[in-house]
Amino acid sequence: MNTQLQETLPDTSAVQYLTFRLDGEAFATEISKVREVLEYTKITRVPRTPCFMRGVINLRGSVVPVIDLRMQFGLPPGKRTIDTCIIILEVNIDEKLTVLGALADSVQEVIDFETEQLSDAPALGTRINNQFISAMGKIDERFVMILDLDSVFKIDLESLSSVTYDYQESYVDEQEDNNEKLIDTDNTTATSDKTEVSSNDNTTNTTGIDLDSAIQKHAEWKLKLHTAITRNEKLEASEISRDDCCILGKWLHGEAKSKFSHLKNYIECRDKHKTFHVEAGRVAKFINDEKYKEAETMLGAGSAYANASSSVATAIISLRKEIG
């Protein structure tokens, strides 16, 4: 992932949020709090720290504490999957801006919430402590819990003071091995994990690609484009416009073409994927031309890009179901 995000956004009637999932529940945080999203990486354990603090990671030379949101919220432990990620956040702790990592089951998308789509957090009825929820956002008939991160991470800074030591790669490797052993201590959990891994392997072996991961990778393009707008970065617009350069595109024009070109859903997926990259390339071109407000609008709800993004995800799911 390594998707850098904007620190601030232009004033609009809507506020943008990054949505993610924990134990099947949808959560969101203001995107202005998010610095980037990382794929799961090895975490170094730190002795004598709260149980919800998983350890630290080396983020381009800086040591960043990582908090397990499941443990912080009292949710049951989860299994690490290909979608498990670390959201790098900037939060205020004791009036000090602090960079922290938060473990999440998966990142979903960037969405806009108008004021009328937000309501007060309920006093009862959620598994999460009410003090952690600043509002409830409504998407169609579904609700998303919007977190008050400053409350979530209001923890004793002394518990994080020991994370300033030098990063030790060899210790990480050793600790990661120990963590894997701890995961398998429960026979039932171990059996379940093996079954899940086997199922994922079978899907990948059948298709030659992890299509769930492909859906997420294409959803992350919105984050990448937002980042480029905020940082005034130049993009390879012509490369982004090509539909045969990403992993999914190479598969669609390669192995999948030889195996599944006779399927209606393959043709649909190939065409929708091409349209998505064309639209992403158009946004990239506007960014390169320094037309940042126009590019922001092009990423908004109901835009050609948003429709293409939704369509390609639907097409991938349909193809996955058809080929099993």
Which residues, in sequence order, are CB contacts of 25 under 8 Å at separation 6+? 127, 128, 145
Write the DSSP symbol of residue 133. E
Residue-level pLDDT at 120:
72
CA-based torsion, 195, 196, 197, 198: positive or negative: positive
Query: What's the pTM value of the predicted model, to 2 decimals?
Result: 0.50
Give the pLDDT confidence score for residue 128 in this predicted structure.
57
Can you say whether the dihedral through the CA atoms of 58, 59, 62, 64 is positive or negative?
negative
Structure tokens at 21: 């999932």
Q: What average pLDDT is seen over the chain?
A: 75
Q: Is the pLDDT of residue 117 over 90?
A: no
Higher pLDDT, residue 321 or 155: 321
Tokens of 278: 């064309």
pLDDT score at 186: 40
Bigger pLDDT: 87 vs 48: 87
Count how many residues are written for the chain. Answer: 324
What is the pLDDT confidence band of residue 123, given thresholds at 50, 70 and 90?
low
Name the pLDDT band for 156 (thresholds 50, 70, 90): very low
State how far the Cα of 211 lies from the Cα of 217, in Å rounded to an integer. 10
pLDDT at 271 over 90: yes
Position 65, amino acid: P
Looking at this protein, which amino acid is placed at residue 241? S
The answer to whether 234 touches 273, Cβ cutoff 8 Å, is no
Pair 31, 226: CB distance under 8 Å: yes
pLDDT at 322: 84
Structural domains of the chain in order of their starting residue, each with its CATH number: 3-183 (2.40.50.180), 207-323 (1.20.120.30)
Q: Is the pLDDT of residue 180 over 50?
A: no
Q: What 3-state class would DSSP assign to 73? A: helix
The residue among 131 and 283 whose pLDDT is bigger is 283
Reported as a pLDDT band with limits 50, 70 and 90, residue 239 is: very high
CA distance 98 to 273: 39
- DSSP assignment letter at 78: -
Cα 23 to chain centroid distance, Å, stands at 14
Is pLDDT of 145 > 80?
yes
* Run of H or E including 180: helix 169-183
- The secondary structure of 9-45 as a DSSP string is ----SEEEEEEEEETTEEEEEEGGGEEEEEE----B-
**pLDDT reported for residue 236:** 93
For residues 27 and 21, is the Cβ–Cβ distance under 8 A? Answer: yes
Q: Give the pLDDT of residue 121.
A: 64
Q: Does residue 101 contact residue 136 with C-beta atoms inside 8 Å?
A: no
More confident residue, 24 or 238: 238
Q: What's the pLDDT band for 314 if we cut at 50, 70, 90? A: confident
